[in-house]
Amino acid sequence: MAAPNTMTHPTSDKATHRLRLNPEELLSSFLAVRSCTSSLVAPLTAEDMMVQSLPEASPAKWHLAHTSWFYESFVLSPFVDGYRVYDPDFRWLFNSYYQSFSAFPDKQLRASFSRPSLEQIAAYRSHVEQAIAEHPAHILQRPEAADRLLLGMHHEQQHQELILTDILHAFASNPLHPSYLRMEQLATAATSAPEFRTYAGGLVETGAGDGFSFDLERPRHRVWLEPFRLANRLITHQEYVAFIEDGGYQRPELWLSDGWHHVQQQGWTAPLYWRREDGIWKVMTLRGEWPLETLASRPVCHVSYYEADAFARWMGMRLPTEAEWEHVAGSLPVEGNLLERRTFLPEAADTSAMAQLFGDCWEWTASAYLPYPGFQPLGGTLGEYNGKFMSGKMVLRGGSMATPASHIRASYRNFFVPETRWQFSGIRLAESVAR
């Protein structure tokens, strides 16, 4: 397996968010990202990389091609004189959703792309990497090209996590329940009840500051917070079992109306990847399927926003807003069970301090995904990257055990429709403090 991603956080101009790297640092960061992607697909067979087990997911082979397409389409073709496009058909075949760039096939058809072959996709990746490697100084001399290359690197890191979420769903859908990486034994640990820290609130700043950020994290702005309390860790499997055993999935009073509709329509009785066999809950993970009791102290994962909200309501609490979450996380270092650890499993909290804010599981917040005051999307086609999705989605914060450490930060906003369960998403509780 290749070395884990070691991309650094380059500094940038506060107004333009542009790189301050020399060509060697730029190339090193780029190649580290590419190496990480290659290492993540190394355990997979060619057949594994063709599977698309739900419409929201994509085959691993497609992820490999699409991330290369991004660099070719937005960095190499417009900014590197004499660049030779690898294959003109790839321009539209591996476009994801950029309507103003080109037409593209229906997303649900990606598993039918038996051609181009995996060997051709590997050659495409090498072609793009070689072109970047030959022109780092040229790219840095053109600020917009440097901005786009950095965006492409973070875009590829997003797809690194998607490779893992998508292959887990594929393996969980397979009746053989194969594992991404097998683990013969799994350590268990005891976890004490969650503790709550009190925060005074007041007028606080939120949003991205210096360094790279996506447009949806900007501009930095002020938000008023009422006093609140936040749990020091994520909710565990064992704690979620108590919700199930108390009839949580049969009690409409705990659920938002649309959430209850999904419970009824989809037949939800537990988080995704849980199944009951001979009276015992089993949970599918990237490390194989395990009895729930083995995972009891680890954070519950693969719950929807609706399930997270219902659990919080059952506890007499609520989910934090994204501003509350960022106010707490912004004062802490970015460290935790992230991709570099290669655990491929959420881990139990082993401290009474504020823990698991970064890594382990994405945390659903009570905040709808909407633009910040003064939000300005990127210009041109790249303006479609985030802005056009600001409707009908909820914000998640903090990253997961599949998120690279150099990719996550306190201001990072992830977003999905509230019924999403195939992502590595968990629960942290909050409550308001009476004045």
pLDDT at position 379 is: 85
> Residue 96 burial by CB count (10 A; 0-12/13-18/19+): exposed, middle or buried?
middle
Q: Provide the 3-class DSSP secondary structure of residue 390.
A: coil
Give the burial string for 186-203 (b: 16+ CB within 10 Å, else e): eeeeebeebeeeebebee
Could you give the CA distance from residue 335 to residue 166 in angstroms, rounded to a whole number? 25
Could you give the CA distance from residue 157 to residue 37 in angstroms, rounded to a whole number? 8
pTM across the whole model: 0.93
Q: Provide the 3-class DSSP secondary structure of residue 174.
A: coil
Q: Provide the 3-class DSSP secondary structure of residue 400.
A: coil
- Report whether 428 contacts 231 (CB < 8 A): yes
List of residues 6+ apart from 138 with CB closer than 8 A: 79, 80, 145
Pick the closest to residue 273 from 262, 260, 259, 288 (CA basis): 288
- Report whether 389 contacts 415 (CB < 8 A): yes
> Using omega within 30 degrees of 0 as the cis cutoff, is the peptide bond preceding 219 cis?
yes
pLDDT in tens, 338-390: 999 999 999 999 888 999 999 999 999 999 999 999 999 888 888 777 888 89
Could you give the CA distance from residue 162 to residue 403 in angstroms, rounded to a whole number? 10
Host H or E run for residue 34: helix 23-41
Pick the closest to residue 216 from 304, 163, 154, 143 (CA basis): 154
List of residues 6+ apart from 187 with CB closer than 8 A: none
pLDDT at position 7 is: 53
pLDDT at position 320 is: 98
Pick the closest to residue 335 from 412, 285, 401 (CA basis): 401
**For every one of its 435 residues, what pLDDT tens digit does the chain have, with 9 covering 90 and above?**
333 344 544 433 333 344 567 888 889 999 999 999 999 999 999 999 999 999 999 999 999 999 999 999 999 999 999 999 999 999 999 988 787 777 788 888 888 888 999 999 999 999 999 999 999 888 988 989 999 999 999 999 999 999 999 999 999 999 999 999 988 788 777 778 899 999 999 999 999 988 899 999 999 999 999 999 999 999 999 999 999 999 999 999 999 999 999 999 999 999 999 999 999 999 999 999 999 999 999 999 999 999 999 999 999 999 999 999 999 999 999 999 999 999 999 999 988 899 999 999 999 999 999 999 999 988 888 877 788 889 999 999 999 999 999 999 999 999 999 999 999 999 999 999 987
Could you give the CA distance from residue 140 to residue 21 in angstroms, rounded to a whole number? 8
pLDDT at position 351 is: 82
Q: Provide the 3-class DSSP secondary structure of residue 70.
A: helix
pLDDT at position 101 is: 78
Query: What are the strands of the beta sheet with 228-231, ordered from one edge?
Result: 196-199, 228-231, 430-432
Distances (CA, A) of 400 to 46, 104, 316: 26, 30, 26
Q: Which residue's structure tokens are 């086609």?
A: 381
Phi first, then psi: give them for residue 276, nearest 5 degrees. Answer: -105, 125
pLDDT at position 150 is: 94
pLDDT at position 15 is: 32
For the chain, the distance separating the N- and C-terminal CA atoms, rounded to the nearest angstrom, is 54
Distances (CA, A) of 392 to 35, 306, 320, 369: 35, 13, 18, 7
Helices assigned H by DSSP within 94-227: 118-134, 136-140, 143-173
- Report whether 79 contacts 145 (CB < 8 A): yes
* Residue-range domains of the chain with CATH: 23-173 (1.20.120), 196-432 (3.90.1580.10)
pLDDT at position 248 is: 98
- Report whether 128 contacts 68 (CB < 8 A): yes
pLDDT at position 11 is: 37
Q: Provide the 3-class DSSP secondary structure of residue 177.
A: coil
